[in-house]
Structure 1
């Protein structure tokens, strides 16, 4: 894995939702490095859809072009339409050649569509990422994009009588659930994988799951991580240790701690390998050309347990060096400079500025250390809230924005039908997801021992039996619902 630039910090798969399922995280997971993308095995059409800029202002006639992909490889006339929702990163056409949803598409003879989220990837609704422009970025606008795309596409492609099923993972999983909730006349069913449906400003439960997931791999592992983190925090209080810390962690320049924001940013940065290892735990493996397939709970816990590398602090520092081939820049000022870029060639290219804006104005999701039941320290909720003020000059309350989001979508109290919620027990995001059946028609599939969006991956022989069973349950639900 490589930590070459700050943009690597902000590239999420997410997964992720994200070239893969990714989260999205409220702060982007930075340990992401992609090989050259493999060539597509099957034809995938890249298209551009004329989309409205503001769906909620009839007097605004401005439009822009939104990117989407089409594959009719499995389509049979009269079959359903499967729509994969993109999220907070560039949407990859690799989703059109691999993934569990294509297995379902082949069985049902579905047409497959993949729509990129506004303000991410190449879908640029505005000239820049200024605050004036970002006011057109919200989950509500994104859902309206989906609705308009669905209506026009159904009309132009002769699919008005087809049943539409939407898929998404992480934030896109939330959108999949909310699309069915808000536009039930347009969406027949939804698969909302690893979807955090409850917005919250402070999300310390994330790191509590990190503790439990590391402990499940090795009971001593989170204790060793906590020991190392506590040692580092103590040393950060003594400027005489800064030279040695700079050398220990391979920093790009001599460490300078001039504010609590400086230390918080550094501590968060160094915690990321463990957060990533738990969230994905190799589930993203070789899909989309990942080269960091060795990132896992076992790999990091083995390193933390290796007494030949010195004390826990030394092992913690070794992990930072091992997972970077260049130096690490932990300056909060550098982060602010990067995040303040409003050009599409800057932060917007990775999705960093837009996503942090969404967390400040809609979701929160801040994975703070405000809990004693987790292995880290030093990045409290105040750090994340100050980040919103520093980057966006925000005076509005994040708490008010989060409350509005839950009022809009219902949080855990979803009232709809034909939505399935798969979640993995290792994945920290399951703490904000649906892990028990709401009704028979709003089932949850809680998959023991699996990580973020594991059910979305293409099946492989080494999959856990419960993961294979989960995909079969999703297929049977789709089979039932498509008959209704």
Structure 2
């Protein structure tokens, strides 16, 4: 299992679908934490000069050295087959690992992995809006109305005081101190409430504090006129999530966010992954989830410039749009983006997950098929199964197991397509 942009959780060594596959095939399991995340501290601190050693390329090289050393340490025979698993960014790394180190990795299950690096990820919120709309058009209409009311209230003092009270803001909206970036940050934070609910909808994350809050939950609240005006229902959702995560108030100050992300010590709250992932998005991937394509729904206040400014404010003036453009171009050239040429990889995506837009959802290569699961969310195939899982999710897991079985059964030439293949129903 390939760790991604967070600490390695020991629960993955005892539960999750990859453990079920391991039991099926009698496999030994290893879980490798990504350099700079969790407790993997390769440098004295997280200063920008040290973060130059943080990249997907370095992470892949770490995995290669790990596998090579384990092969030696355990005296594994030459025909030992390594299968790598990963979800989200870890899913990208799994596919890239098979492509870059085919002599070490025999197969890869890439779950919800974005393969195309893109600076302005406009379609993210398009998928979010469509997922909400599929459940209820009125749900989406209410969000649009609520944002209109929010916009009106922001323009006079009494309205600003109402917003402060309704949304439990940590700081009042002060015309003398509140900046444009603060308002953008407020809009983005409120939009992210819906994004996170859609992205992880019914994914069986048992440890999540918000796992029981689904698309149905929020849409049923948004269409309930007994709660109040659209903005009251909007605030109800925000406060419900604050309570679930045990947050006392909604922090929207841009300067506070930047100050926390500038902290270079390993003891900081952001050191588990926030500052590090921001660095990778500012240098390798972009992935900025902007409101540009949905201005009437989530406002037009957080375009790509808002995120580029964060890169500059956190890491310095060098980290501007030009540096990011070159970084994204480099990433797509290195790995092939959506033209990745590889065998013994299965790409798994859910239709509700906004990240599927940047992933492989169709494939004409029988040795690297794509499984696109209608109605499921981010990395849903990886989590422990449930009797409530959709039939198509259950079927996807069976198909993935069939592919792994075929990889282990065949002795394919990694540079040709001369072996028999198992073709799933995709």
Confirm or deny a common fold (TM above 0.5): yes
Q: Please state whether the residue corresponding to 1:114 is helix, strand or coil.
A: coil
Q: 2:280 aligns with which of 346, 352, 358?
A: 358
The one of 296, 305, 309 equivalent to 1:382 is 305
1:265 aligns to 2:185 (yes or no): yes
Does residue 145 of structure 1 match 2:62?
yes
**2:260–2:270 Cα contact (<8 Å) kept:** no
1:447 is displaced (CA, Å) by 0.2
* Contact 2:125/2:294, CA 8 A, preserved across alignment: no
Give 3-state SS (helix, strand or coil) of 1:320's partner. Answer: helix
Residues 1:282 and 2:202 aligned together: yes
Give the equivalent residue in structure 1 for 2:239.
Answer: 321
Contact 1:211 1:373 in 2 (8 A): no
Which TM-score applies when normalising by structure 1? 0.80
Distance 1:394 1:164, change over 3 A: farther
Moved more, 319-328 or 363-372: 319-328
Q: 1:382 to 1:277 in 2, by over 3 A?
A: same
What is the CA distance between 1:462 and its match in structure 2? Answer: 1.1
1:306 Cα deviation (Å)? 0.8
Secondary structure of the residue that 2:140 maps to in structure 1?
helix
Matched, 1:345 2:271: no
Which residue does 2:355 correspond to in 1?
A: 429
Where does residue 126 of structure 1 map in the other structure? 43
1:51-108, Cα deviation, whole Å (9 max, x unpaired)? xxxxxxxxxxxxxxxxxxxxxxxxxxxxxxxxx0001111001001111111111111
1:250 aligns with 2:168: yes
For 2:364 and 2:43, the matched residues in 1 are separated by 39
Any idea what SS the aligned residue of 1:481 has? Answer: helix
Query: What is aligned with 1:297?
Result: 215
2:404 counterpart of 1:478: yes
Most deviating of 217-226 and 351-360: 217-226
Q: 1:262 to 1:379 in 2, by over 3 A?
A: same
Provide the residue aligned with 1:89 in structure 2.
6
* Higher mean displacement: 230-239 or 201-210: 230-239
* Larger displacement relative to structure 2 (392-401 or 451-460): 392-401
Q: Return the match for 2:255 from 326, 333, 339.
A: 333
Quote the residue 2:329 is aligned against.
403
Q: Does 1:309 align with 2:231?
A: no
Report deviation, 1:200.
0.1
- C-alpha deviation, 1:204, in angstroms: 1.0
Shift of 1:166: 0.2
2-structure distance, mates of 1:111, 1:274: 39
Determine the C-alpha separation between the residues in 1 that align with 2:296 and 2:105: 40
Q: What's the secondary structure of 2:306's corresponding residue?
A: helix
Greater displacement, 258-267 / 177-186 = 258-267
Query: Match for residue 50 of structure 1?
Result: none
- Do the aligned partners of 1:100 and 1:457 also contact (CA within 8 Å) in 2? yes
Q: Secondary structure at the match of 2:337?
A: coil
Cα distance, 1:246 vs structure 2: 0.6
| Cα contact 2:204–2:384 (8 A) shared by 1 | no
After superposing on structure 2, the runs of 4+ consecutive aligned residues of structure 1 that deviate more than 4 Å are none
How many Å apart are 1:391 and its aligned residue?
0.5
Deviation at 1:311, TM superposition (A): 1.4
Bigger share in strand: 1
What 5-or-longer segments of structure 1 have no aligned partner?
Answer: 1-83
Deviation at residue 282 of structure 1 after TM alignment: 2.6
Once the two structures are TM-superposed, the CA of residue 241 in structure 1 deviates from its matched residue by 2.1
| Distance (whole Å) between structure 1 residues aligned to residue 231 and residue 331 of structure 2 | 40
Question: 1:157 — aligned with what?
Answer: 74
Displacement after TM superposition at 1:224 (Å): 1.2
SS at 2:297's partner residue? coil
SS at match of 1:324: helix
The match for 2:17 is 100
Secondary structure in 2 aligned to 1:412? helix
Q: How many residues matched?
A: 399
Q: In the alignment, what sits opposite 1:115?
A: 32
Conserved? CA contact 2:5–2:273, under 8 Å? yes
In structure 2, relative to structure 1, the CA distance for the partners of 1:160 and 1:201 (3 Å cut) is farther
Shift in Å at residue 438 of structure 1? 3.8
Q: Secondary structure at the match of 1:339?
A: helix
